[in-house]
């Protein structure tokens, strides 16, 4: 097995994922390139989370093929994911970061941990138990833990779902800073406002299929498909 | 002076015979728990994190062995270490080592079953994160053991409670030899049958104190675990 120098591009070649007779992803062909963020949007159950988990390598395609930087079966050394409900290890905030650095074989320097904590606005909470943080703080720590692995691709599964506006704003600012640092961000959301704010490329998913792909301005101002028009009009896609 | 007053006096004055029995009991039970943990924890970590043919049967067997009668464990160890047994040449019969082996056999299934539950629950919770972080198999085990440490301490204390209160197996393989293999439980049984209730009650008081302390420590461990959770 050869490890890709970068995990980009991530290429889905007619990828389907089925579970217990239900098709979750249906012949997805998609290329995720380096550059501005890719935003996966779509209603609940459209396949956003499964697509991200497949891109991470946590779910194997039932059919089709996926490659990372041109390589199949690439271990997730240079990609990271933040789940919608991240799990905090039963340790302090700093120890969670130290652990991520350790498993990525990155020297666990105290300065690096401080830098990461400052980046996500948790500089004063390093000694606190990670599981006692609020939902927004846990998301920020999960982002720092993902960045600690020095990824080339960061996959974010609805990172602001069920957060208050202030926490959402803080998370989105961190995501923008991460994207500006050159890390490819792939984020799923069903919040059109968030898709608009993050921008980049938009991929609309519906019933496990890619319905439309376009840059944010084009997608939001002149959608081509009926599903995209309905989604933007706030109609329920079922 | 009543036997209960004499017993209290033995405890308060630190009677040498009583202290020697308590010391041996603690050494045997703590050693048994340590050996049981060394065997059980890595084994159940493997069982909890892997799927293999016969896994369910292994789990059922582990759970069933929690109810292993002490005298049967004692008999098995007796057959193993008696002169004609496979370990006969080692001369372990009627030694503290044989008692440690017998108690370890009794305690291992308890530690294994409770540890498996802890590790499996944690693995259900951590699986995605650890897989996404590309954590290797050995590190997964050490991570789960470390993060489940408070529950595991409570498990070890439960094992110690079982070992400390055990009498049948160690009576068979230890022989209850005065000053050599006599523990609190075997001494209580013997002294009661002899009618020397002072020493029996004194040892009973110490044993109960140990059991209460162990339970308090187990509660503290669980409390600390919940605080960290």
Candidate from B134, B228, B229 with C-beta closest to A103: B134
Q: What is the pLDDT of residue B228?
A: 67
Angle between helix A135-148 and helix A110-119 axes, rounded to 10 deg? 130
Coil, helix or strand at residue A73: coil
pLDDT digits (tens, 9 = 90+) for B20-63: 999 999 999 999 999 999 999 999 999 999 999 999 999 999 99
Q: Which helix (H) or strand (E) is A201 found in, with range?
A: strand A201-206
Mean pLDDT across chain B? 91
- What CATH number does the domain containing B43 carry? 1.10.3720.10
Candidate from A58, A77, A86 with C-beta closest to B131: A58
Angle between helix B16-49 and helix B55-64 axes, rounded to 10 deg? 160
Q: What is the pLDDT of residue A2?
A: 43
Is any Cβ of chain B less than 8 angstroms from the Cβ of A103?
Answer: yes
H-type helices in B67-148, by residue range? 70-81, 96-132, 137-147
Rounded CA-CA distance B143/B146 in Å is: 5
Tens-binned pLDDT, residue by residue, of chain A (238 aa): 444 567 889 999 999 999 999 999 999 999 999 999 999 999 989 999 999 999 999 999 999 999 999 888 778 888 999 999 999 999 999 999 999 999 999 987 899 999 999 999 999 999 999 999 999 999 999 999 999 999 999 999 999 998 899 999 999 999 999 999 999 999 999 889 999 999 899 999 999 999 999 999 999 999 999 999 999 988 777 7
Structure tokens at B114: 């409770």
By C-alpha distance, the chain B residue nearest A86 is B129
**Chain A nearest CA to B134, separation (Å):** 6
Q: What is the pLDDT of residue A235?
A: 79
Testing the interface with B: which of A103, A128, A132, A145 to mutate, by most B Cβ within 10 A? A103
The verdict on a CB contact (< 8 Å) between A87 and B147 is no
Q: Which residues of A touch B134 (CB under 8 A)?
A: 75-77, 103-104
CB-based contacts of A169, cutoff 8 Å, min separation 6:
none
Domain boundaries, chain A: 10-86+154-232
- Entry pTM: 0.85
Q: Which residues of A touch B229 (CB under 8 A)?
A: 90, 131
The conformation of residue B53, written as its DSSP 8-state character, comes to: T
Rounded CA-CA distance B210/B217 in Å is: 10
Q: What is the pLDDT of residue A198?
A: 92
Rounded CA-CA distance B157/A85 in Å is: 34
Testing the interface with B: which of A89, A130, A131 to mutate, by most B Cβ within 10 A? A89
Full DSSP string of A115-175: HHHHHTT-GGGTTSBGGGS-HHHHHHHHHHHHHHT--SEEEEESTTTT--HHHHHHHHHHH
Coil, helix or strand at residue B55: helix
Query: Does residue A9 have a cis peptide bond before it, meaning omega lies within 30 degrees of 0?
Result: yes
pLDDT digits (tens, 9 = 90+) for B83-141: 999 999 999 999 999 999 999 999 999 999 999 999 999 999 999 999 999 999 999 99
Q: What is the pLDDT of residue B2?
A: 58
Q: What is the pLDDT of residue A74?
A: 78
Is any Cβ of chain A less than 8 angstroms from the Cβ of B84?
Answer: no
Contact indicator for A237, A231 with CB cutoff of 8 Å: yes
Coil, helix or strand at residue A6: coil
**Chain B nearest CA to A99, separation (Å):** 9
CB-based contacts of B49, cutoff 8 Å, min separation 6:
B119, B123, B137, B140, B141, B144
Above 60 in pLDDT, residue B1?
A: no
Rounded CA-CA distance A118/A126 in Å is: 10
Q: Which residues of B touch A90 (CB under 8 A)?
A: 147-148, 225, 228-229
The verdict on a CB contact (< 8 Å) between B147 and A91 is yes
pLDDT digits (tens, 9 = 90+) for B142-172: 999 999 998 899 899 999 999 999 999 999 9
Rounded CA-CA distance A198/A195 in Å is: 5
Task: Residue window 143-162, chain B: list those with CB within 8 Å of chain A.
Answer: 143, 147-148
Sign of the Cα pseudo-torsion (A122, A127, A133, A138, in order) = positive
Q: Which residue range forms the structural domain that includes residue B160?
A: 3-228
Above 80 in pLDDT, residue B226?
A: no
Give the sheet arrangement for strand A63-68, strand by strand: A22-32, A10-19, A63-68
**Chain A nearest CA to B63, separation (Å):** 28
Q: Which residues of B touch A83 (CB under 8 A)?
A: 128-129, 132
φ, ψ (nearest 5 deg) of residue A146: -70, -40
Q: How many residues does chain A have?
A: 238
CB-based contacts of B1, cutoff 8 Å, min separation 6:
none
Rounded CA-CA distance B145/A183 in Å is: 33
Q: Which residues of B touch A76 (CB under 8 A)?
A: 132-134
For chain B, how many structural domains are there in total?
1
φ, ψ (nearest 5 deg) of residue A19: -140, 125
Cβ density class A173-197: b for 16+ within 10 Å, e for less: ebbeebbeeebbbbbbbbeeebbeb
Q: What is the pLDDT of residue B225?
A: 74
User: Percent of chain B beyond pLDDT 70?
Assistant: 97
Q: Is B121 exposed, middle or buried (0-12, 13-18, 19+ CB in 10 A)?
A: middle
Q: What is the pLDDT of residue A109?
A: 82
Is any Cβ of chain A less than 8 angstroms from the Cβ of B191?
Answer: no
Structure tokens at B60: 């059922």
Read off the pLDDT band of B4 (50, 70, 90): low
The verdict on a CB contact (< 8 Å) between B133 and A100 is yes
Above 70 in pLDDT, residue B75?
A: yes
Is any Cβ of chain A less than 8 angstroms from the Cβ of B138?
Answer: no
The CATH class given to the A10-86+154-232 domain equals alpha beta
Q: What is the pLDDT of residue B224?
A: 80
Contact indicator for B108, B97 with CB cutoff of 8 Å: no
**Chain A nearest CA to B201, separation (Å):** 44
Candidate from A58, A99, A131 with C-beta closest to B132: A58
Candidate from B128, B225, B227 with C-beta closest to A83: B128
Is any Cβ of chain B less than 8 angstroms from the Cβ of A10?
Answer: no
Testing the interface with B: which of A59, A90, A139 to mutate, by most B Cβ within 10 A? A90
**Chain A nearest CA to B153, separation (Å):** 15
């Amino acid at each position: 097995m050869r490890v890709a120098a970068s995990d980009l591009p991530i290429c889905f070649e007619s990828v389907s994922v089925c579970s217990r007779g239900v098709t979750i992803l249906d012949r997805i062909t998609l290329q995720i390139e380096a550059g501005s963020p890719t935003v996966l949007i779509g209603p609940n159950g459209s396949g956003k989370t499964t697509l991200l988990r497949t891109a991470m390598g946590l779910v194997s395609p039932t059919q089709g093929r996926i490659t990372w930087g041109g390589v199949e079966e690439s271990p997730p050394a240079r990609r990271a994911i933040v789940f919608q409900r991240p799990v905090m290890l039963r340790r302090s905030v700093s120890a969670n970061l130290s652990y991520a650095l350790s498993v990525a074989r990155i020297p666990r320097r105290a300065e690096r941990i401080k830098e990461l904590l400052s980046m996500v606005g948790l500089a004063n909470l390093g000694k606190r138990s990670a599981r006692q943080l609020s939902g927004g703080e846990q998301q920020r720590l999960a982002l720092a833990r993902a960045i600690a692995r020095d990824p080339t691709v960061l996959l974010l599964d609805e990172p602001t779902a069920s957060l208050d506006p202030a926490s959402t704003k803080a998370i989105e600012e961190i995501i923008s800073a991460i994207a500006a640092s050159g890390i490819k961000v792939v984020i799923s959301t069903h919040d059109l406002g968030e898709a608009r704010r993050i921008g980049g490329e938009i991929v609309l998913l519906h019933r496990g299929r890619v319905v439309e792909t376009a840059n944010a301005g084009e997608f939001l101002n002149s959608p081509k498909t009926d599903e995209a028009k309905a989604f933007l009009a706030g109609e329920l896609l079922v | 002076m009543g036997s209960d007053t004499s017993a209290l006096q033995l405890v308060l004055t630190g009677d040498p015979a009583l202290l020697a029995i308590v010391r041996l009991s603690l050494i045997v039970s703590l050693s048994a728990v340590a050996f049981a943990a060394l065997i059980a924890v890595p084994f159940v970590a493997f069982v909890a994190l892997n799927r293999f043919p016969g896994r369910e049967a292994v789990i059922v067997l582990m759970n069933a062995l929690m109810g292993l009668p002490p005298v049967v464990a004692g008999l098995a160890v007796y057959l193993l270490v008696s002169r004609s047994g496979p370990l006969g040449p080692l001369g372990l019969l009627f030694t503290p080592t044989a008692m440690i082996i017998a108690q370890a056999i009794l305690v291992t299934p308890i530690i294994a079953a409770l540890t498996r539950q802890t590790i499996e629950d944690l693995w259900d919770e951590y699986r995605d994160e650890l897989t996404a972080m590309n954590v290797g198999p050995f590190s997964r085990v050490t991570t789960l053991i470390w993060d489940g440490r408070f529950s595991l301490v409570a498990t070890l204390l439960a094992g110690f409670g079982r070992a400390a209160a055990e009498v049948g197996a160690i009576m068979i393989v230890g022989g209850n030899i005065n000053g050599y293999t006599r523990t609190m439980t075997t001494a209580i049984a013997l002294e009661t049958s002899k009618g020397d209730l002072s020493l029996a009650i004194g040892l009973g008081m110490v044993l109960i104190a140990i059991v209460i302390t162990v339970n308090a420590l187990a509660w503290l461990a669980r409390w600390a675990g919940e605080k960290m959770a």
